Every structure is written in C-alpha cells, then in structure tokens.
Structure 1
C-alpha cells in the first residue's frame, strides 16, 4: 500500500515554518515526511535554505513521522564521512525513522567551496564511493579508506542507531535507475514512470522501496495559484540538465524568464479541483511507488492541509 507524505521545501521556508508544517502534516493524516537539502534556494524569491541536519534534529522533537532527505548530495559540499555522522545522529534522534536519500546533486549547491563541478559520469563514481564509505562507517567499526575520490583516516561513528539508515538513490533516467538498483536500498524519482521502475527492479531493486513526489499549488483561485507557482517555482518547468549545471539563483532566474503561465497550467496541479489532485498523486500509486510526497507551493499551507485531510487523502486511501 502506498504511503502518502508531505515534502518540506527548505528552499521556500525557514526552520520555524518547516516545523509547523511537519506538525500540521501529521495532524492532517500524512504518513511520512521528506525534506530537501540545499545550500541555496533555486531563486531569490523562494528566499530560504536552512541547514537540513539542524532542522531534522528539531523535527525529531515535534512529530513522530519518519523523515527522508530528498535528497542530499554526499560527495562535494560535505565529505561522506561527515554525511555519515549526520545521518547516523538523525537516525538516533528519530528512533530509527530516518531514511537517507542521496543523489549526485546540483552545481547550485555543491560549487560553493570552489570545487570544480564534475561531469555526470564522474559524479556517479563519486556517489558510489561515498555510499560505500558511509555504509562502512554505519557499522561502528574504525575505518581507513584511500580511494579514487576520498580519503578517510581512522574514523569511527560512536553515536549511531541499532540499524543503519537505509540509503535511497535518486535518479531520473534508465541508467540512473539501474545504478540505484545496484547500490541502493531504495529508488527516488519524481516521474511516475513504470518503465523506469522496471529498470530499477531488473538491476537489483526487487523488494526495495520506490519513492517520489510532486509539487502542487492548492488555492480557491486557480489563476492566482498559477501566478504563485510562476513567482516561486518556475524552475520546475526547465528542461534537461539545466537544474544540475546552473550555478547560482540568478542564473535560474534568467533561465526561468522563458517559463510561461501556460507551461505551468499544463505541468503543475493548481487550484482546488479535487479530481486533479487525486489523479496527479494516484499516478504514483498506479506506477507502484511505495511512498509519494506532496509539497504545497506558497503561503496557504493550512488551507492545503485541510483540503488534503478532508478530501484528497480519504479518496486516495479508498481508491475512489
């Protein structure tokens, strides 16, 4: 049975708002939480980007829902050994309800220390080595590692959960899906594509969870909701690899000048038509996703939670 979760957008909201949304999501009947891990927002209008590990620590104290990072890049901005420590502590604080979603990242967040942004093939190599290092550290043993991309010297995690947090791998194409099946404990993708999930399963993903999600903009005025998306999240309509290679919010703002309101109407659920919301979310369940996360764009969070509590979640769970 598919679990329905709320996606906390660190790019748009500060820590206090994210904690309030987590509590509201639990009260509204959502099953799970996800949270983005960014250094920068996609554009200045979004305007936030708190340190995800501090927020997860606070989340563990205000609600009881499982938490997944969607997603952390554990390869450039922070060394895998530090990411392993952060993930292990998060798993302890949440009582084992933390899942570590990882991916190859975006230049937007990972170039900030002045490192060269690697090509896609190299990023996959780095991610595989990083995952191996983190899994070794989750055992609690002291490790030394001298690999192609990383060095670890006499490192040991003393604070860690009874069971290591599962590592879910993010991917958006057949090759990445197969990569996730080979090295991941689960697969994260934002496209409800059965063929992509098939690639994941064939490469070793049988029995492993598949996780995805979407953004919506609930509101009683559909045109106003479209304008809200155009103001805050036009980057969702950018094609190809732009999301991985553009280095600053201002570059995204320049590219998003090409995004029109009609493009948003075609691609993103806006307004209060319950059938549209149910259909969009159910597409993930129909594609055999184990978890699907929904994020509400804009300020009317409580209206969204009331709408989903009263109309959307009951419909999804009844298959009506």
Structure 2
C-alpha cells in the first residue's frame, strides 16, 4: 500500500505558518509529514529557515495522529548525535510514537556554520556511521561512552526514552551508501526514482523496508504562474545533489542555477493543475519500489488551494497507484 505525505518546507514558510500547514495537511488526508532541517534556505527568494525541531514539537501537539519525520537531519557537524538522539526521543514521546528520525550526511549550506571544515563524501559518510552508532546506543538506554575516529561521547544517557523506539531513516544515493547504511537503517530515503537504488537497499538491508522519496509540484490553475513560481523558488534543485551538497550559501545556489530556465524546471516539476501529470510523476517512484512519497507544494502562499485539490483530486488519484 502506498503512503502519500506532505512536506513542511522550513525554507519557504515561517514556524507559525508551518504549524498551520501541518494541521491542514492532516485534515486534507495525508498519511505522514516530513520536515526539512536547514539553517539557510537554498535561495534568498525562499525567505525562511526556522528551527525544525522546535517547529516539529509544536506540530506534534497541533496534530492528532499523522506520522512525522525529519527529511533530513545531519547528526555530524551542526548537531552532535547525542543531542539528536535526545531530540528524537523527546519528540517521539510528545508525538505519541509517530516520529521517524530521517538522517543524512549533510550539506555544506547548513553545516559550514560551525566552522569545522567540509570534508569529502567518504569522510562525511564515515562520520554518519559513527553518529548512528552513538544514537542507537543511546536509544538502547544506559550510559554511553564512545571514542570514534571522528566523534566522541562521554557518559551520555537519555533519561526520557519513548515506549516505542524511534525508527531511523537514512538518505542514500548509490551502491556505496546502500552497502554502508542498508544494514543499519530501518527506512530508506532516496531522491530519484531508480529501481536499482531500491534494489540495492533491499539487498544490503536484508529486508523490504519502508522507502521514502519526495516530489515537488507547483499546483495552480494558472500554468504560467505555477511555472514562474517553481523557477523562482526551486531552480536550485536542478544541478543535482552531488553539486548541491558542496555549495555553502544561497548566493552559491543562485549562481549554480543562473542559466536554468522556467521551461527547464517545468520539465521535472509538474506545474499547473493537471492531476494526470502529478500521477505520472509519482508513478515513477512507486514503480521504482518506493513505498512512501512526500509531496512538496511550491510557494508558501499557495498551500490552501493545494490542500483543497489534494482532498478532492490529488490524493484519490494517487491512492489508485
């Protein structure tokens, strides 16, 4: 059975708006909500970047039963894994066991602020392995001492543990990351609708676990306006994550996407109010083996009409997949 989620985009809305969006998404019938966790927006035009964990705590109180997830947190630079473990355990308690901890190896955009340098991808993945080990040991209970190559913990303990252990999702992009994180992750987080990626995750994880992806759309009755908005706010996404993970500022993202045209964005992001186009884009992910897909509605001021369309048209059509 497929699950359709909604994305709380901390880069394009303030915390109070995000809380209202979370309630509206639950009322519209979405199955789960994911939240980005950034220090900067990708582009200055997006205009926001509130603290995701504080916002999720409020969301957990404002909503009733919808599942929640970080998409994704990096527990290796800006946050220490012991702090992430404490935040995740607390949020699981507050939410009544609705939370999944989505983790990734990070982006320079958000992690450079602690001024520890930005190493290559192999080192970032090695740090993430150590971080997940620390988080799991803290979730086990008791006092934790840890001396890794990159990360250390001295006599840490979580005094408030939830009744249900927090599942850990891990972002992967290829064979190396699937082989590294498949055996230690509960949930796969991916970007592209590639059946090879989900197959490798199943191979190395040893199970057909939950697999979550994300699909941006720009829903609007005016196709031109939808395309213009998608270009203004989401042109940053086209260079791809191998490039984007290395960029340190919104200005750098703007520069990297300088030659991107509105029609280029419209080729990869459904723009307008064609339900068929959304279904076709979503079908690629489900055909590739994903179980969960979180929609991103581009534009903070265009959420209400999106929720109305989600209830009436989009969700019923997607559930047929």
TM bucket normalised to smaller: over 0.9
Q: Number of matched residues?
A: 319
CA distance in 1, matches of 2:39, 2:302: 25
CA contact (8 A) 1:238 1:259 kept: no
Which position in structure 2 is the counterpart of 1:60? 60
Cα distance in 2 for residues equivalent to 1:204 and 1:6: 26
Q: Could you list the per-position Cα deviations for residues 231-250 of structure 1 after superposition, in whole angstroms to 9, with x for gaps in the alignment?
A: 11111111352210010111
Pairwise CA distance, 1:180: 2.8
Distance 2:178 2:310 in 1: 30
SS of 2:113 mapped into structure 1? coil
> Which deviations, in whole Å up to 9, do the C-alpha atoms of 1:65-88 show, x marking residues without a partner?
110100000000111111111111
Taking only aligned residues, the RMSD between alpha carbons, in angstroms, comes to 1.1
Q: Distance in 1 between matches of 2:29 and 2:282?
A: 15
Distance in 1 of aligned mates of 2:277 and 2:138? 45
Q: What is residue 38 of structure 2 aligned with on the other side?
A: 38
Structure 1 Cα separation of the partners of residues 190 and 241 of structure 2? 15
Whether the 8 Å CA contact 1:218–1:271 is kept in 2: the answer is yes
Query: Residues 273 and 76 (structure 1 numbering): CA distance in 2 closer, same or farther, change over 3 Å?
Result: same
SS class of match (2:142): coil
Contact 1:136-1:143 at 8 Å conserved across structures: yes
Summarize the alignment of residues 1-20 of structure 1 with structure 2, pairs less than 5 Å apart: 1-20=1-20
Gaps of 5+ in 1: none
Task: Give, in angstroms, the shift of residue 297 of structure 1.
Answer: 0.2
Aligned partners of 1:189, 1:205: CA distance in 2, in Å? Answer: 17
Which 10-residue stretch deviates more, 120-129 or 165-174?
165-174
- Distance change in 2, residues 1:253/1:277 (3 Å): same
For the Cα contact (< 8 Å) 2:139–2:158, is it kept in 1? yes
The alignment's TM-score, normalised by the length of structure 2, stands at: 0.97
Contact 1:34 1:70 in 2 (8 A): yes
User: What does residue 99 of structure 1 align with?
Assistant: 100
Alignment partners' CA distance in 1, 2:241 and 2:286 = 25
Taking the aligned partners of 2:157 and 2:142, their CA distance within structure 1 comes to: 6
Deviation per residue, 1:187-242 (Å, 9 max, x gap): 10021211110011111241321111110000011111111011111111113522
**C-alpha displacement of 1:177:** 2.5
The within-5 A match list for 1:294-305 is 294-298=295-299, 299-305=301-307
Residue deviations 1:224-282 (CA, integer Å, cap 9, x gap): 11110111111111135221001011111111212111211211110001110111122
Instruction: Give the equivalent residue in structure 1 for 2:189.
Output: 188
Structure 1 match to 2:271: 270
- Could you tell me which residue of structure 2 aligns to residue 231 of structure 1? 232
Q: C-alpha displacement at 1:164, in angstroms?
A: 1.8
Q: Larger deviation: 186-195 or 127-136?
A: 186-195
User: How many angstroms does 1:139 deviate by?
Assistant: 1.6
